């Protein structure tokens, strides 16, 4: 009994002139004891209290407080309003800081939810499908890889990383490359080899194009603003195997060469030329390396934001005008609101036209107009501009073989990255992106025969001069890939016969 009683403490309190006995365990926390005192005093349990002995000295409220008797009562006094207000103010400040942290973390929580859902789906596959040990291990590796990739996404979301949008202040010292006469002439041709150039050199070439076409002079574009804009454009292209800044440069250089080759400055206004060039520069900004099909099937943030309607192309437009919204990068600053509205709408229309899901619709519309084409008809002119940017966007096979072929490797690498992720996430996989089903010849033959050649031949009706420079190289590329496919088929047949012979030989033994 002595042991049990020693585990309890008794404190005597003076409560309005009467003696109040309080019994508590020595294992109670100070908070528990304070709540008992509040109950004895008849005040709310969260009231702050001070404990005073008979001499008026403060006593700490905790299980080790000095023992007292009925003759030496402790007096409990609620904390004054001023002290309470100070503590409440401190508490409110802490709550405000916590709320701000939660606000910053909001999108991270959304991302965590997305990750959790996808991992649950993969783990369910492991559990329910009764996979073999090797398959289970592969799936676990896929889950681990997905965790890493999704973790890296936390820092790669464009809208959460505004640092890239900040224009550089060191532009005046930006190296200016003096382009040789040979380079200036080569830039005007579809045969230009972009693989030979570093990013800063490509930026200088883009700058030259804007000057050479008279856009800087005609629209009073500040040359320093042009440099800052181009640098910001460069910084907002990701290092994907294919959809990167070099691709942006190639598309823009092909647009420049078509403007020169087809004498488009005689057909279009300078505003149209500015729209064509700027749309080409911006057309794949912040491309994540995974196409619209993936965005929609995976229900990514972009597909949700744009309701599954050209999510990537809408995002490219949004990033382009976020950059242009900064005064230091606004090459359109000298346009009045109505002119800017025209440029913005024209640029958006062209970038949205690069969605290959709209290829048939746009080309069919152009075919209906081409035989009676009228440059004065705004609908005709807009349709032509849409087809021109489409041609430039997928024009690699127009270039010489040694320039074009590395781009096929880059594109297939990006396709394979996507199909691997789609398999890991249980999403549909397009056969032309599956590393187990596609080869370089099979990837290119159909695309050249049924997409590129028909489109360029239609444009050729308006501009016969592109046949030698663009259409003929496409036909030669088609023939070369068909020869490669024949060689591949022959080798596969030989390998198949060899395997069958070995199998038959094994059975005879």
Feature table: binding site: 243-247, 283-284, 393, 444
Q: 445 and 482 in contact (C-beta within 8 Å)?
A: yes
Q: Report helix, strand or coil for 154.
A: coil
Rounded CA-CA distance 500/508 in Å is 13
Rounded CA-CA distance 459/83 in Å is 82
Rounded CA-CA distance 279/316 in Å is 10
Rounded CA-CA distance 255/205 in Å is 13
Q: 333 and 227 in contact (C-beta within 8 Å)?
A: no
Neighbours of 191 (CB within 10 A): 12
- Name every residue whose Cβ is closer than 8 Å to that of residue 175 and which is 6 or more positions away in sequence: 200, 204
Known binding residues for AMP: 243-247, 284, 393, 444
Q: Report helix, strand or coil for 171.
A: helix
Q: Which residues are registered as beta bridge partners of 501?
A: none
Known binding residues for Zn(2+): 247, 283-284, 393
Q: How far apart are the first and last CA of the chain?
A: 92
Going from the C-alpha of 380 to that of each of 132, 163, 262, 392, 396, the distances in angstroms are 59, 40, 17, 19, 26
Catalytic residues: 243
Rounded CA-CA distance 338/139 in Å is 56
Q: How many residues does the chain have?
A: 509
- The alpha carbon of residue 433 and the mean position of all alpha carbons in its chain are separated, in whole angstroms, by 20
Nearest alpha carbon to residue 280 among 237, 248, 323: 248
Q: 251 and 233 in contact (C-beta within 8 Å)?
A: no
- Name every residue whose Cβ is closer than 8 Å to that of residue 289 and which is 6 or more positions away in sequence: 238, 240, 241, 242, 243, 414, 417, 418
């Amino acid at each position: 009994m002595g042991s049990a009683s020693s585990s309890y403490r008794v404190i005597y309190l003076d409560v309005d002139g009467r003696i109040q006995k309080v019994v508590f365990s020595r294992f109670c926390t100070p908070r528990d004891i304070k709540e008992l005192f509040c109950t004895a005093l008849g005040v709310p349990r969260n009231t702050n209290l001070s404990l005073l002995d008979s001499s008026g000295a403060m006593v700490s409220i905790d299980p080790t407080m000095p023992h007292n008797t009925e003759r030496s009562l402790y007096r409990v006094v609620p904390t004054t309003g001023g002290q309470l207000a100070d503590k409440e103010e401190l508490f409110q400040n802490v709550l405000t800081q916590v709320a701000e942290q939660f606000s910053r973390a909001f999108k991270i929580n959304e991302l965590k939810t997305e990750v959790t859902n996808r991992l649950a789906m993969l783990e369910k596959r492991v559990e329910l499908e009764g996979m073999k040990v090797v398959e289970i291990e592969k799936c676990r590796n896929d889950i681990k890889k997905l965790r890493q990739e999704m973790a890296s996404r936390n820092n790669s979301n464009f809208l959460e990383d505004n640092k890239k949008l900040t224009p550089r202040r060191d532009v005046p010292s930006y190296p200016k490359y003096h382009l040789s006469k040979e380079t200036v002439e080569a830039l005007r041709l579809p045969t230009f080899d972009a693989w030979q150039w570093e990013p800063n050199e490509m930026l200088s070439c883009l700058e030259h194009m804007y000057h050479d076409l008279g856009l800087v002079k005609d629209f009073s574009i500040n040359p320093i603003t042009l440099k800052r804009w181009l640098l910001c454009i460069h910084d907002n292209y990701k290092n994907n195997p294919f959809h990167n800044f070099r691709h942006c440069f190639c598309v823009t250089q092909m647009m420049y060469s078509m403007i020169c080759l087809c004498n488009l400055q005689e057909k279009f206004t300078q505003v149209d030329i500015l729209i064509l060039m700027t749309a080409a520069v911006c057309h794949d900004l912040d491309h994540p390396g995974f196409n619209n099909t993936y965005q929609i099937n995976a229900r990514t943030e972009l597909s949700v934001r744009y309701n599954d309607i050209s999510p990537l192309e809408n995002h490219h437009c949004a990033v382009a005008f976020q950059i242009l919204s900064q005064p230091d990068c606004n090459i359109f600053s000298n346009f009045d609101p109505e002119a800017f509205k025209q440029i913005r709408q024209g640029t958006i229309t062209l970038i949205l036209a690069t969605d290959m899901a709209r290829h048939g619709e746009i080309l069919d519309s152009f075919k209906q107009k081409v035989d009676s084409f009228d440059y004065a008809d705004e609908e005709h002119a807009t349709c032509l501009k849409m087809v021109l940017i489409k041609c430039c966007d997928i024009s690699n096979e127009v270039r010489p073989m040694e320039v074009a072929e590395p781009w096929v490797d880059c594109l297939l690498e990006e396709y394979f990255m996507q199909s691997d992720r789609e398999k890991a996430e249980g999403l549909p996989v397009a056969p032309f992106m599956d590393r187990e089903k596609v080869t370089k010849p099979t990837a290119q033959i159909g695309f050249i025969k049924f997409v590129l050649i028909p489109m360029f031949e239609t444009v050729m009706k308006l501009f016969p001069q592109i046949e030698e420079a663009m259409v003929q190289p496409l036909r030669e590329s088609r023939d070369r890939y068909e020869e490669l496919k024949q060689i591949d088929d022959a080798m596969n047949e030989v390998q198949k016969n060899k395997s069958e012979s070995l199998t038959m030989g094994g059975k005879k033994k």
